[in-house]
Amino acid sequence: MKFTNRIAAWIFAIILVGCSTSPTGRNQVILFSDSQMSQLGADSFQQMKKEQPISKDTAVNTYVQCVTRQILQQVPKQKEFSQWEVVVFDSPQVNAFALPGGKIGVYTGLLKVAVNQDQLATVIGHEIAHVLADHGNERMSHAQLANAGLQISDAALSNQEYRNEILALMGAGVQYGVLLPYGRTQESEADIVGLKLMAKAGFDPYQSVELWKNMAKASGGNQPPELLSTHPSHDTRIKDLTAEAKILPNTNQQQPHCSAP
Protein backbone atom coordinates (compact mmCIF):
# COMPACT_ATOMS: atom_id res chain seq x y z
CA MET A 1 0.00 0.00 0.00
CA LYS A 2 2.82 2.40 0.91
CA PHE A 3 4.53 1.68 -2.43
CA THR A 4 1.28 2.37 -4.32
CA ASN A 5 0.80 5.60 -2.42
CA ARG A 6 4.35 6.66 -3.24
CA ILE A 7 3.76 6.10 -6.96
CA ALA A 8 0.51 8.03 -6.79
CA ALA A 9 2.29 10.88 -5.02
CA TRP A 10 4.95 11.04 -7.75
CA ILE A 11 2.35 11.01 -10.50
CA PHE A 12 0.52 13.86 -8.78
CA ALA A 13 3.82 15.78 -8.39
CA ILE A 14 4.59 15.41 -12.09
CA ILE A 15 1.14 16.62 -13.08
CA LEU A 16 1.22 19.50 -10.62
CA VAL A 17 4.83 20.68 -10.99
CA GLY A 18 6.60 18.85 -13.73
CA CYS A 19 4.96 20.01 -16.94
CA SER A 20 7.32 22.29 -18.85
CA THR A 21 8.50 23.03 -22.37
CA SER A 22 12.06 23.61 -23.55
CA PRO A 23 13.08 26.55 -25.80
CA THR A 24 12.67 24.29 -28.83
CA GLY A 25 9.19 23.12 -27.80
CA ARG A 26 10.24 19.77 -26.35
CA ASN A 27 8.23 18.49 -23.38
CA GLN A 28 10.17 18.27 -20.12
CA VAL A 29 9.67 16.88 -16.62
CA ILE A 30 10.77 19.54 -14.12
CA LEU A 31 10.34 18.80 -10.41
CA PHE A 32 12.58 21.37 -8.75
CA SER A 33 11.87 25.08 -8.41
CA ASP A 34 13.98 27.78 -10.04
CA SER A 35 14.97 29.06 -6.61
CA GLN A 36 16.15 25.60 -5.52
CA MET A 37 18.25 25.20 -8.64
CA SER A 38 19.71 28.71 -8.45
CA GLN A 39 20.72 28.26 -4.82
CA LEU A 40 22.21 24.88 -5.54
CA GLY A 41 24.20 26.24 -8.48
CA ALA A 42 25.46 29.24 -6.51
CA ASP A 43 26.51 27.14 -3.52
CA SER A 44 28.25 24.57 -5.71
CA PHE A 45 30.09 27.23 -7.68
CA GLN A 46 31.33 28.89 -4.51
CA GLN A 47 32.78 25.58 -3.36
CA MET A 48 34.39 24.94 -6.75
CA LYS A 49 36.17 28.30 -6.57
CA LYS A 50 37.73 27.19 -3.29
CA GLU A 51 38.87 23.85 -4.66
CA GLN A 52 40.20 24.73 -8.12
CA PRO A 53 42.90 27.22 -9.18
CA ILE A 54 41.54 30.41 -10.74
CA SER A 55 43.45 32.09 -13.56
CA LYS A 56 45.08 35.38 -12.66
CA ASP A 57 46.01 36.14 -16.27
CA THR A 58 44.46 39.55 -16.94
CA ALA A 59 44.45 39.16 -20.73
CA VAL A 60 42.74 35.75 -20.58
CA ASN A 61 40.12 36.94 -18.09
CA THR A 62 39.38 40.09 -20.10
CA TYR A 63 38.98 38.04 -23.28
CA VAL A 64 36.62 35.46 -21.78
CA GLN A 65 34.60 38.15 -20.01
CA CYS A 66 34.30 40.14 -23.25
CA VAL A 67 32.95 37.20 -25.26
CA THR A 68 30.58 36.15 -22.49
CA ARG A 69 29.28 39.69 -21.97
CA GLN A 70 28.35 40.00 -25.65
CA ILE A 71 26.29 36.81 -25.46
CA LEU A 72 24.65 37.66 -22.15
CA GLN A 73 23.34 40.89 -23.66
CA GLN A 74 21.06 38.64 -25.74
CA VAL A 75 19.81 36.63 -22.75
CA PRO A 76 16.54 37.65 -21.08
CA LYS A 77 16.73 38.84 -17.48
CA GLN A 78 16.40 35.93 -15.07
CA LYS A 79 13.96 35.99 -12.17
CA GLU A 80 16.10 34.16 -9.63
CA PHE A 81 19.36 36.10 -9.97
CA SER A 82 20.39 39.54 -11.16
CA GLN A 83 23.89 38.91 -12.53
CA TRP A 84 25.86 36.16 -14.22
CA GLU A 85 29.28 35.36 -12.79
CA VAL A 86 32.14 34.18 -15.02
CA VAL A 87 35.28 32.52 -13.66
CA VAL A 88 38.28 31.28 -15.66
CA PHE A 89 39.82 28.20 -14.06
CA ASP A 90 43.52 27.57 -14.64
CA SER A 91 43.43 24.02 -15.94
CA PRO A 92 44.41 22.17 -19.14
CA GLN A 93 40.92 20.71 -19.39
CA VAL A 94 39.19 21.41 -22.70
CA ASN A 95 35.99 22.26 -20.96
CA ALA A 96 33.44 24.85 -19.86
CA PHE A 97 30.14 24.72 -18.00
CA ALA A 98 27.26 26.86 -16.75
CA LEU A 99 25.24 26.25 -13.62
CA PRO A 100 21.78 27.39 -12.54
CA GLY A 101 22.02 30.67 -10.71
CA GLY A 102 24.07 32.25 -13.50
CA LYS A 103 27.46 30.69 -12.82
CA ILE A 104 29.81 30.12 -15.77
CA GLY A 105 33.17 28.36 -15.64
CA VAL A 106 35.71 28.31 -18.48
CA TYR A 107 38.95 26.30 -18.36
CA THR A 108 42.08 27.77 -19.90
CA GLY A 109 42.65 24.54 -21.83
CA LEU A 110 39.60 25.33 -23.94
CA LEU A 111 41.37 28.35 -25.47
CA LYS A 112 43.86 26.06 -27.18
CA VAL A 113 41.02 24.50 -29.19
CA ALA A 114 38.53 27.38 -29.43
CA VAL A 115 41.10 29.53 -31.23
CA ASN A 116 39.12 32.74 -31.84
CA GLN A 117 36.30 34.75 -30.32
CA ASP A 118 33.62 33.14 -32.49
CA GLN A 119 34.63 29.62 -31.51
CA LEU A 120 34.77 30.53 -27.84
CA ALA A 121 31.34 32.15 -28.23
CA THR A 122 30.06 28.84 -29.61
CA VAL A 123 31.02 27.00 -26.45
CA ILE A 124 29.84 29.69 -24.03
CA GLY A 125 26.54 30.07 -25.88
CA HIS A 126 26.08 26.31 -25.73
CA GLU A 127 26.68 26.18 -21.98
CA ILE A 128 24.38 29.13 -21.26
CA ALA A 129 21.72 27.39 -23.36
CA HIS A 130 21.84 24.40 -20.98
CA VAL A 131 20.83 26.73 -18.15
CA LEU A 132 18.15 28.54 -20.14
CA ALA A 133 16.65 25.19 -21.16
CA ASP A 134 16.61 23.87 -17.57
CA HIS A 135 18.63 20.83 -18.57
CA GLY A 136 20.18 20.43 -15.12
CA ASN A 137 16.75 20.52 -13.49
CA GLU A 138 15.46 18.07 -16.06
CA ARG A 139 18.26 15.57 -15.39
CA MET A 140 17.92 15.86 -11.62
CA SER A 141 14.18 15.31 -11.98
CA HIS A 142 14.76 12.18 -14.05
CA ALA A 143 17.23 10.89 -11.45
CA GLN A 144 14.71 11.55 -8.70
CA LEU A 145 12.00 9.66 -10.55
CA ALA A 146 14.27 6.78 -11.54
CA ASN A 147 15.62 6.50 -7.99
CA ALA A 148 18.73 4.92 -9.49
CA GLY A 149 20.86 4.94 -6.37
CA LEU A 150 20.72 8.71 -5.98
CA GLN A 151 18.19 10.11 -3.54
CA ILE A 152 17.51 13.75 -4.37
CA SER A 153 15.21 15.69 -2.09
CA ASP A 154 15.09 19.07 -0.44
CA ALA A 155 17.38 17.74 2.27
CA ALA A 156 19.81 16.10 -0.16
CA LEU A 157 20.33 19.32 -2.10
CA SER A 158 22.44 20.67 0.74
CA ASN A 159 23.99 17.34 1.70
CA GLN A 160 27.70 17.15 0.84
CA GLU A 161 27.37 13.40 0.39
CA TYR A 162 25.59 14.01 -2.90
CA ARG A 163 27.42 17.12 -4.09
CA ASN A 164 29.59 15.54 -6.80
CA GLU A 165 26.70 13.56 -8.23
CA ILE A 166 24.45 16.62 -8.27
CA LEU A 167 27.20 18.69 -9.92
CA ALA A 168 27.47 16.01 -12.58
CA LEU A 169 23.72 16.05 -13.14
CA MET A 170 23.99 19.80 -13.73
CA GLY A 171 26.77 19.28 -16.29
CA ALA A 172 29.82 20.24 -14.21
CA GLY A 173 30.88 16.98 -12.63
CA VAL A 174 33.49 15.65 -15.02
CA GLN A 175 36.35 17.34 -13.16
CA TYR A 176 35.31 15.43 -10.05
CA GLY A 177 35.48 12.07 -11.81
CA VAL A 178 31.71 11.74 -11.94
CA LEU A 179 30.37 11.49 -15.47
CA LEU A 180 26.60 11.64 -15.71
CA PRO A 181 26.25 13.09 -19.18
CA TYR A 182 23.55 15.22 -20.64
CA GLY A 183 21.53 13.24 -23.14
CA ARG A 184 22.19 13.76 -26.83
CA THR A 185 18.79 15.40 -27.23
CA GLN A 186 19.78 18.00 -24.64
CA GLU A 187 23.20 18.49 -26.21
CA SER A 188 21.73 19.00 -29.67
CA GLU A 189 19.17 21.39 -28.23
CA ALA A 190 21.91 23.40 -26.50
CA ASP A 191 23.84 23.50 -29.79
CA ILE A 192 20.91 25.13 -31.61
CA VAL A 193 19.86 27.52 -28.84
CA GLY A 194 23.48 28.48 -28.20
CA LEU A 195 24.15 29.05 -31.89
CA LYS A 196 21.21 31.44 -32.10
CA LEU A 197 22.51 33.33 -29.06
CA MET A 198 26.04 33.76 -30.37
CA ALA A 199 24.85 34.73 -33.85
CA LYS A 200 22.45 37.28 -32.41
CA ALA A 201 25.39 38.74 -30.48
CA GLY A 202 27.22 39.27 -33.77
CA PHE A 203 29.57 36.28 -33.75
CA ASP A 204 30.07 34.19 -36.89
CA PRO A 205 27.86 31.06 -36.62
CA TYR A 206 29.89 29.23 -39.27
CA GLN A 207 32.85 29.27 -36.88
CA SER A 208 30.89 26.78 -34.77
CA VAL A 209 31.60 24.24 -37.48
CA GLU A 210 35.31 25.07 -37.40
CA LEU A 211 35.31 24.69 -33.63
CA TRP A 212 34.01 21.15 -33.77
CA LYS A 213 36.49 20.32 -36.49
CA ASN A 214 39.19 21.49 -34.09
CA MET A 215 37.65 19.37 -31.36
CA ALA A 216 37.74 16.35 -33.63
CA LYS A 217 41.43 16.95 -34.32
CA ALA A 218 42.13 17.45 -30.63
CA SER A 219 40.69 14.04 -29.84
CA GLY A 220 43.29 12.45 -32.12
CA GLY A 221 41.08 9.43 -32.63
CA ASN A 222 41.49 8.54 -28.96
CA GLN A 223 39.62 9.70 -25.88
CA PRO A 224 37.83 12.95 -26.83
CA PRO A 225 38.22 16.15 -24.80
CA GLU A 226 36.00 16.36 -21.73
CA LEU A 227 33.62 18.69 -23.49
CA LEU A 228 32.95 16.09 -26.18
CA SER A 229 32.66 12.98 -24.05
CA THR A 230 28.88 12.78 -24.23
CA HIS A 231 28.00 14.90 -27.22
CA PRO A 232 26.69 13.86 -30.64
CA SER A 233 29.26 12.62 -33.14
CA HIS A 234 31.46 15.18 -34.86
CA ASP A 235 29.85 14.54 -38.25
CA THR A 236 26.32 14.84 -36.89
CA ARG A 237 27.11 18.01 -35.00
CA ILE A 238 28.87 19.65 -37.95
CA LYS A 239 26.00 18.77 -40.30
CA ASP A 240 23.34 20.11 -37.91
CA LEU A 241 25.22 23.33 -37.15
CA THR A 242 25.89 24.01 -40.82
CA ALA A 243 22.21 23.57 -41.63
CA GLU A 244 21.15 25.83 -38.77
CA ALA A 245 23.70 28.54 -39.64
CA LYS A 246 22.27 28.75 -43.16
CA ILE A 247 18.78 29.63 -41.95
CA LEU A 248 19.69 32.04 -39.16
CA PRO A 249 18.29 35.52 -39.83
CA ASN A 250 20.69 38.35 -40.52
CA THR A 251 20.62 40.42 -37.33
CA ASN A 252 22.91 43.14 -38.69
CA GLN A 253 24.60 43.03 -35.31
CA GLN A 254 28.05 44.62 -35.34
CA GLN A 255 30.84 42.08 -35.06
CA PRO A 256 32.26 42.12 -31.51
CA HIS A 257 35.97 42.75 -31.02
CA CYS A 258 37.28 40.69 -28.13
CA SER A 259 41.08 40.49 -28.27
CA ALA A 260 42.40 36.96 -27.80
CA PRO A 261 45.39 36.71 -25.43
For 2-53, what is each residue's pLDDT tens digit? 444 444 444 445 444 556 776 666 777 777 788 888 988 888 899 889 989 9
pLDDT band of 70, cuts 50, 70, 90: very high
User: Rounded to the nearest 5 degrees, what angle is found at the Cα of 101, between the Cα atoms of 148 and 147?
Assistant: 10
For 170-221, what is each residue's pLDDT tens digit? 666 544 333 445 677 888 899 999 999 999 999 999 999 999 888 878 776 5
Q: Find, among 84, 62, 127, the residue nearest to 258 by Cα.
A: 62
**Percent of the chain topping pLDDT 70:** 69
Average pLDDT rounded to a whole number, residues 60-74: 97
CA distance linking residue 173 with residue 183, whole number of Å: 15
Q: Find, among 84, 80, 164, 83, the residue nearest to 125 by Cα.
A: 84
For 93-129, what is each residue's pLDDT tens digit? 888 999 999 999 999 999 999 999 999 999 999 999 9
CA distance linking residue 204 with residue 206, whole number of Å: 6
Q: What is the pLDDT of residue 63?
A: 98
Average pLDDT rounded to a whole number, residues 69-90: 94
Q: What is the pLDDT of residue 15?
A: 43
Q: What is the pLDDT of residue 148?
A: 46
Amino acid of residue 84: W
Domain definitions of the chain by residue range: 35-247
Q: Find, among 122, 97, 110, the residue nearest to 204 by Cα.
A: 122
Longest Cα–Cα distance in the chain:
64
pTM: 0.80
Three-state SS sequence of 112-146: HCCCCHHHHHHHHHHHHHHHHCCHHHHHHHHHHHH
Q: What is the pLDDT of residue 162?
A: 58
Q: What is the pLDDT of residue 166?
A: 67
